[in-house]
Amino acid sequence: MTDSPDGIDLDRLRPFFVANVAGANDVALSATLIAGGRSNLTYSVTDGASTWVLRRPPLGHVLPTAHDMVREFRVMSALAPTAVPVPRTLAMCEDLSVNDAPFYVMELVDGIIYRDTAALASLSADDAQRASEALVDVLAAIHAVDYREAGLAEFGRPDGFLERQVRRWGEQWERSKTRELPAVDELARRLRAALPESGPATIVHGDYRLDNTMMALDDPGRIVAVLDWEMSTLGDPLTDLGLFLLYWGQADAQVIATGAAINTQAGFMTRDQVVERYADVSGRAVDHMDWYEILASYKLAIIVEGINARYQMGKTVGPGFESMGAMVAGLINSALEKANRSEITALRG
């Protein structure tokens, strides 16, 4: 029997790889949990000659609609012929007898993910500027894809998207919460009261940020893969921009993502510059961004509470989970403070 990391059974996976992954040899597999990612679990898997990446849901406490492997596999497969850089998908498995949970296999992409202080510090001011530009341009490229032409017309329900987002994340909170936080309900009330009117619907990544992209090894200004599509859907593209700005500009959110805050003094764009470039490249109006950033804080706080709930049940794999619970209230309180300062009257309560 092969010694497998938590969440992956290499002995049962071996025949699946031989039958479904081109080039896989009928020999013992070995695997390593890839660092980063506090939701779905990502492993490198090798037969000694080739190496692939396997993604599966977390262990325990999986919320409805979350951690959908089929969804990730489908959207990345559909985006392969577009201008959006994604890893090539290789095999999908929904048979729970193989690895106890749905999973998919994709190619291993050579590149670097800037997810910690040392990696960020390695960037020159010029590299940081070009990385910023690439991040905004690729986000605009995602939103420019004709989702009908890509075969994703039934991938989501854009009508009423923002109202459903607030409602469904409130339901997720009720399923995930480990304690009562009345401020969460107050934030949801204000978001409902101030719902903006959405522009044309697009593919929405749902968790677009620096460490969910991989840059070329020889060029920090070129993205070779956009990763972690588990929350993708069809809807309002400004929800992606709002979440990106949250990670870009607030310490707690950025620490959750990369362990280090973006340092605009080192060449990274300011948040205002990010919005301006996105508007220029996409041609979209960027009004009501306060609302979208506050929605992002609301969603992220609920996601983090779900991670905290799994941690408290002993169902997480890897380090860095012990501080998750303390970040939830900070994200919600920061969002309420931003709402209180907003020019949008309904957000001020």
CATH number at residue 18: 3.30.200.20
Q: Which CA distances in Å does 184 have to 180, 191, 275?
A: 9, 11, 27
Is 85 domain-assigned?
A: yes
What is the distance between the alpha carbons of residues 268 and 264, in angstroms, rounded to a whole number?
4
Residue whose C-alpha is closest to residue 337's, from 302, 293, 306, 304: 293
78 and 215 in one domain?
no
Which two structure tokens, joined as six digits, stand for 109?
Answer: 């992409």
Q: Cβ distance 230 to 39 under 8 Å?
A: yes
Domain range holding 91?
A: 10-107
Instruction: Please give the backbone phi and psi of residue 47, each rounded to the nearest 5 degrees, phi first.
Output: -105, 10
**Residues 294, 187: contact at Cβ < 8 Å?**
yes
pLDDT tens, the chain, 349 aa long: 567 888 999 999 999 999 999 999 999 999 999 864 456 899 999 999 999 999 998 886 454 444 589 999 999 999 999 999 999 999 999 999 999 999 999 999 999 998 877 788 889 999 999 999 999 999 999 999 999 999 999 999 999 999 999 999 999 999 999 888 999 999 999 999 999 999 999 999 999 999 899 999 999 999 999 999 988 999 999 999 999 999 886 555 545 544 455 766 688 999 999 999 999 999 999 999 999 999 999 999 998 898 888 888 887 766 667 777 778 988 999 999 999 999 999 999 8
193 with 333, same domain: the answer is yes
For residues 4 and 24, what is the distance between their CA atoms, to the nearest angstrom? 18
Same domain, 17 and 103: yes
Q: CA 109 → CA 30, 112, 141, 224, 248, distances in Å?
A: 18, 9, 20, 8, 25
What's the token pair of residue 250? 């607030």
Residues 176 and 285 in one domain: yes
The 10 Å Cβ neighbour count of residue 297 is 25
For residue 317, give the CATH number of its domain. 3.90.1200.10
Q: In the chain, where do the E strands start and end? A: 30-33, 41-46, 51-56, 89-93, 103-107, 202-204, 213-216, 219-226, 233-235
In a domain, 343, yes or no: yes
* Token pair 């956009």 in the structure block, residue: 226
Q: Rounded to a whole number, what is the distance in angstroms from the first to the last CA of the chain?
A: 60
CA distance linking residue 30 with residue 60, whole number of Å: 23
In a domain, 81, yes or no: yes
Question: Is residue 317 domain-shared with residue 283, that is, in the same domain?
Answer: yes
Exposed/middle/buried for residue 205 (C-beta within 10 Å: 0-12, 13-18, 19+)? buried
Of 107, 127, 157, which residue sits at a domain end?
A: 107
* H-helix or E-strand spanning residue 132: helix 125-144
The domain tally of the chain equals 2
3 in a structural domain: no
- CB neighbours of 108 closer than 8 A, spacing ≥ 6? 44, 51, 52, 53, 87
- Number of other CB atoms surrounding residue 272 within 10 Å: 10
